[in-house]
């Protein structure tokens, strides 16, 4: 976890404001501002009384700052790659009310929000969003760029593929795999493996769309 440097939040929407609030509870973390990469008119303004930078300004900030991405979409990889190209390192943020097993691993740039529990030997990839109240079971592996919505419950020994999106309150039973870039709808109960690039919804969860690209 990189707490030595002030942190810049990639994003300027409401979730970025929430992440700034969560980060303010973490000892040793200073939020220095926000970063925009789509709307040049937003750059140079202020959000939560902090400056909003244009993404290209990261080249001049990379030696003194770290970043974390606060876009809930699994397509945030694009923004993260833009930032990484300017040489900025990434902070890993874990809220003090979260419980992370000593044997669990959290990848760089990931966010573990308030009330989350990461069980023994779980592996959380890079740039993962573990939202408030999420439960991740023992020996479960979460791939890079995954989003776990509030209240998600992932059983033990599961595998969640790269850039998958698991919606608010969804449940994934033990020893199941969710494919890369798939979407599990809010409140769904997953009782069997989910292939790559499909959307599943309902109780039990069933495929409702195919050929998708995350969310």
Per the CB < 8 A criterion, the answer to whether 167 and 185 are in contact is yes
Can you give the pLDDT at residue 3?
61
| Average of per-residue pLDDT across 34-61 | 97
Length of the chain, please?
A: 215
Q: Is residue 105 very low, low, confident or very high in pLDDT (cuts 50, 70, 90)?
A: very high
| Residue 108 sits in the same domain as residue 186 | yes
| Residue 133 sits in the same domain as residue 197 | yes
In a domain? residue 215: no
Domain housing 140: 93-210
The rounded distance, in Å, linking the Cα atoms of 42 and 207 is: 39
Specify the CATH number for the domain of residue 130: 2.160.10.10
Can you give the pLDDT at residue 23?
94
Q: What is the mean pLDDT of the chain?
A: 97
User: Where is the domain boundary, 27, 60, 85?
Assistant: 85
Retrieve residue 146's tokens: 């995954």
Q: Is 121 a catalytic residue?
A: no
| Average of per-residue pLDDT across 184-192 | 98
| 77 to 29, 135, 146, 183, 202: CA distances (angstroms) | 23, 24, 10, 16, 28
| Residue 73 sits in the same domain as residue 137 | no
User: Where is the domain boundary, 37, 59, 85?
Assistant: 85
pLDDT above 70 covers a percentage of the chain that reads: 99
pLDDT at 115 > cutoff 60: yes
Name the catalytic one among 75, 86, 121, 138: 138
Can you give the pLDDT at residue 4?
77
Tens of pLDDT, residues 147-177: 999 999 999 999 999 999 999 999 999 999 9
| Residue 201 sits in the same domain as residue 129 | yes
In a domain? residue 199: yes
In a domain? residue 143: yes
Number of other residues whose CB lies within 10 A of the CB of residue 195: 14
Specify the CATH number for the domain of residue 68: 3.40.50.720
Count of structural domains, the chain = 2
Number of other residues whose CB lies within 10 A of the CB of residue 213: 12
Q: Which helix (H) or strand (E) holds 61?
A: helix 58-61
| 90 to 4, 54, 57, 87, 199: CA distances (angstroms) | 11, 17, 16, 10, 30
Per the CB < 8 A criterion, the answer to whether 142 and 126 are in contact is no
In a domain? residue 13: yes
Can you give the pLDDT at residue 106?
98
The rounded distance, in Å, linking the Cα atoms of 105 and 139 is: 10
Tens of pLDDT, residues 68-97: 999 999 999 999 999 999 999 999 999 999
| Residue 116 sits in the same domain as residue 40 | no
pLDDT at 2 > cutoff 80: no
| Average of per-residue pLDDT across 16-22 | 97
């Amino acid at each position: 976890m990189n707490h030595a440097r002030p942190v810049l939040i990639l994003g300027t929407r409401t979730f970025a404001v929430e992440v700034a609030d969560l980060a303010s509870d973490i000892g040793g973390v200073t939020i220095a501002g926000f970063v925009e990469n789509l709307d040049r008119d937003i750059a140079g303004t202020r959000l939560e009384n902090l400056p909003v930078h244009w993404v290209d300004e990261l080249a001049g900030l990379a030696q003194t700052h770290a970043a974390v991405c606060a876009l809930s979409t699994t397509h945030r990889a694009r923004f993260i790659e833009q930032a990484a190209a300017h040489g900025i390192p990434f902070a890993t943020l874990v809220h003090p009310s979260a419980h992370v097993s000593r044997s669990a691993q959290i990848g760089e740039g990931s966010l573990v929000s308030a009330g989350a529990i990461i069980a023994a030997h779980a592996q959380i990839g890079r740039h993962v969003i573990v939202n408030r109240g999420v439960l991740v079971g023992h020996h479960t592996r979460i791939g890079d760029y995954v989003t776990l919505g509030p209240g998600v419950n992932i059983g033990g020994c599961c595998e969640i593929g790269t850039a998958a999106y698991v919606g608010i309150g969804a449940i994934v039973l033990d020893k199941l795999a969710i494919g890369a870039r798939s979407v599990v709808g809010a409140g769904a109960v997953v009782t069997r493996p989910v292939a790559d690039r499909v959307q599943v919804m309902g109780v039990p969860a069933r495929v409702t769309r195919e050929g998708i690209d995350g969310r």
